[in-house]
């Protein structure tokens, strides 16, 4: 049996936490071979980033050289902590672990993993401690995988090593129906389907990096989120890749939300082909990700065109929109920096009607105005005023009865009774 155990920034935030992580690894080693992946100590990546920014120019190669060091220091320290308590351990940078990436500094993609060195260590009874978040490009340069990338390292290693489980140790005890800091009735989920997890991660639940979840789904890596602070007798949350037929699916699994968004509207744009394309090309050229897009029905040959972006991109997006608006002949361009998004997510939605009606009724009851709506097969999102996001989350959590734990009860019922 082989498990990959990943410890996030807070779980290795200081010497005491590193020692606790090391004890957990030693305990697991009684049952399985372990490959450890670590993030940089909490706050370290931000500190290194700020140190780079002091020099102004955004030189991606050197940024990566600096940023990758955070994880390397932590890997070395964790290996020392393990050795101190009698566990044979050895640190590996991403490069030494055989993680090959493309050359896109700051957001590199993993192309392949040469696991020979890690396998050799494990075969010798040595526990490898791999620096997350990084790899090596074909030209030998160090690359990083984007913020939160250690999750991806862990999942990718678990896939490449055909590990029995990839365990993500973090500062929460699993995935919840929603953020417990916003809604006190939030409940830990025993299991969550990977598609739901992917939606929830992308929609603002910050526990797992969306890319890592996508990777786990693609390679069917059993992924478990656990608390590094607790005993974890409850088993955390298991992200499932296939659906178990024994499980009665709740219609809605969770409520995700994101506060920091912004909306831009091109008012009274001539309704003719190419308008959306031109605007989006400009935004794309500035590397601005557009989230929702809504175009109204046209009345007198003109239409309103709205889209949302991350608040950090607001100023740049507004500039693009003004430029494009001028070219296209929009009457005006308006913006609103104070919006957020709430989303209900659940694979059970596929087979149940009426979810949208219930969601919108709950929001209406709370006097919350819906500005934009977008849907996929397993989620419905609404853009609302930012100041109402917390209320909306609580209202929806109640409306869909998420505190009741139907799923836990079902899975705990002994089979065959
Ligand atoms: N240390 C990196 C970050 O803060 C990677 C990670 O923690 O996963 O983004
Ligand atoms: Mg993280």
Kindly give the distance from the C-alpha atom of residue 50 to the centroid of ligand 2, in angstroms, as a whole number: 18
Three-class DSSP category at 47? helix
User: What percent of the chain stands above pLDDT 90?
Assistant: 79
DSSP 181: T
Distance CA 156, CA 380 (A): 30
Q: Is the CB of 149 under 6 A from ligand 1?
A: yes
Three-class DSSP category at 313? helix
Looking at residue 412, what is its pLDDT?
34
Tokens of 198: 């992917």
Q: Is the CB of 148 under 6 A from ligand 1?
A: yes
Distance CA 61, CA 56 (A): 14
pLDDT surpassing 90 at residue 231: no
- Pairing mode, strands 110-113 and 99-101: antiparallel
DSSP 367: T
Distance CA 102, CA 109 (A): 6
Ordered domains of the chain (ranges, CATH): 2-244 (3.40.1160.10), 255-401 (3.30.2130.10)
User: Based on C-alpha coordinates, what's the Rg of the chain?
Assistant: 23
Looking at residue 234, what is its pLDDT?
82
Looking at residue 407, what is its pLDDT?
43
Give phi and psi for 125, each to the nearest 5.
85, 15
Q: Is the CB of 346 under 6 A from ligand 1?
A: no
- Pairing mode, strands 89-92 and 99-101: unpaired
Counting ligands in written order, the one closest to the CA of 154 is 1
Looking at residue 225, what is its pLDDT?
94
What distance separates the 2 farthest-apart alpha carbons in the chain? 77
**Cα distances (angstroms) measured from residue 382 to each of 177, 178, 291, 300, 368:** 18, 16, 12, 28, 10
Distance CA 301, CA 320 (A): 23
Distance CA 140, CA 138 (A): 5
Helix (H) or strand (E) holding 395: helix 389-399
Looking at residue 388, what is its pLDDT?
97
- Each residue's pLDDT tens digit, 301-320: 999 999 999 999 999 999 99
Helix (H) or strand (E) holding 143: strand 142-144
Average pLDDT, integer, range 133-162 = 97
- Each residue's pLDDT tens digit, 372-414: 999 999 999 999 999 999 999 999 999 999 998 644 433 333 3
Looking at residue 415, what is its pLDDT?
29
- Between 276 and 248, the more confident residue is 276
Which atom of ligand 1 is least distant from the CA of 149?
Answer: 8
**Mutation test of ligand 1: which of 9, 146, 153 has the most ligand atoms closer than 8 Å to its C-beta?**
9
- Is 291 within 8 Å of 308 (Cβ atoms)? yes
Average pLDDT, integer, range 263-283 = 90
Helix (H) or strand (E) holding 170: strand 165-170
Looking at residue 406, what is its pLDDT?
47
Which atom of ligand 1 is least distant from the CA of 153?
Answer: 8
Distance CA 8, CA 14 (A): 12
Burial of 116 (0-12, 13-18, 19+ CB in 10 A): exposed
Q: Is the CB of 40 under 6 A from ligand 1?
A: yes
- Each residue's pLDDT tens digit, 247-271: 566 789 999 999 999 999 999 999 8
Three-class DSSP category at 259? strand
pLDDT surpassing 70 at residue 345: yes
**Segments in 101-209 forming alpha helices (H):** 116-123, 150-160, 194-202
- Each residue's pLDDT tens digit, 115-129: 999 999 999 999 999
**∠ Cα 168 174 178 (to 5°):** 130
Looking at residue 405, what is its pLDDT?
66
Average pLDDT, integer, range 192-205 = 87
Q: What is the mean pLDDT of the chain?
A: 91
Looking at residue 397, what is its pLDDT?
97
Tokens of 189: 């989920």
Distance CA 38, CA 18 (A): 10
- Each residue's pLDDT tens digit, 186-195: 999 999 999 9
Distance CA 417, CA 415 (A): 6
Tokens of 84: 């101190």
**Cα distances (angstroms) measured from residue 278 to each of 35, 102, 283, 320, 324:** 48, 30, 9, 10, 7
Q: Is the CB of 70 under 6 A from ligand 1?
A: yes
Q: Give the number of other CB atoms < 10 A from CB of residue 34.
A: 25
Could you tell me the pLDDT band of residue 361, with boundaries at 50, 70 and 90?
A: very high
Across 59-68, 172-181, 224-233, which has the greatest mean pLDDT? 59-68
Could you tell me the pLDDT band of residue 226, with boundaries at 50, 70 and 90?
A: very high
Distance CA 258, CA 179 (A): 11
């Amino acid at each position: 049996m082989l498990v990959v155990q990943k410890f996030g920034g807070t779980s290795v935030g200081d010497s005491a936490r590193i020692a606790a992580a090391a004890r957990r690894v030693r305990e697991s080693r009684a049952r399985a071979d372990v490959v450890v992946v670590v993030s940089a100590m909490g706050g370290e990546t931000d500190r290194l980033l700020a140190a780079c920014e002091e020099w102004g120019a955004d030189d991606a190669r050197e940024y990566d050289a600096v940023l990758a060091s955070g994880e390397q220091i932590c890997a070395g320290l964790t290996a020392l902590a393990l050795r101190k308590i009698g566990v044979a351990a050895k640190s590996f940078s991403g490069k030494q672990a055989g993680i090959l990436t493309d050359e896109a500094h700051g957001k590199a993609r993993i192309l392949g993993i040469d696991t020979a060195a890690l396998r050799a260590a494990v075969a010798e009874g040595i526990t490898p401690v791999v620096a997350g978040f990084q790899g090596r490009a074909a030209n030998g340069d160090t690359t990083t995988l984007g913020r939160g990338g250690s999750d991806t390292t862990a999942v990718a290693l678990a896939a490449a090593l055909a590990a029995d489980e990839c365990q993500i140790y973090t500062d929460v005890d699993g995935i919840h129906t929603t953020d417990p800091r916003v809604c006190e009735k939030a409940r830990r989920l025993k299991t969550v389907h990977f598609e739901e997890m992917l939606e929830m991660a992308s929609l603002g639940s910050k526990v797992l990096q969306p890319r890592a979840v996508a990777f786990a789904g693609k390679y069917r890596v059993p992924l478990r989120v656990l608390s590094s602070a607790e005993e974890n007798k409850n088993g955390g949350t298991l992200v499932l890749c296939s659906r178990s037929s024994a499980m009665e699916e709740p219609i809605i699994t969770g409520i995700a939300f994101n506060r920091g968004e912004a909306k831009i509207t091109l008012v009274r744009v001539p309704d003719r082909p190419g308008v959306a394309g031109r605007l989006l090309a400009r935004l794309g050229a500035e590397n601005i990700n557009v989230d929702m897009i809504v175009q109204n029905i046209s009345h007198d040959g003109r239409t309103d065109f709205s889209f949302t972006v991350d608040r950090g991109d607001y100023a740049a997006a507004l500039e693009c929109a003004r430029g494009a608006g001028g070219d296209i002949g929009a009457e005006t361009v308006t913006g609103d920096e104070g919006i957020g998004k709430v989303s209900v997510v659940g694979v059970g939605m596929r087979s149940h009607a009426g979810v949208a009606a219930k969601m919108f009724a709950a929001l209406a009851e709370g006097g919350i105005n819906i500005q934009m709506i977008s849907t996929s097969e397993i989620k419905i999102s609404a853009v609302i005023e930012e100041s109402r996001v917390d209320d909306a989350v609580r209202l929806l959590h109640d409306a869909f009865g998420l505190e009741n734990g139907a799923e836990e009860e079902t899975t705990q019922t002994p089979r065959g009774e």
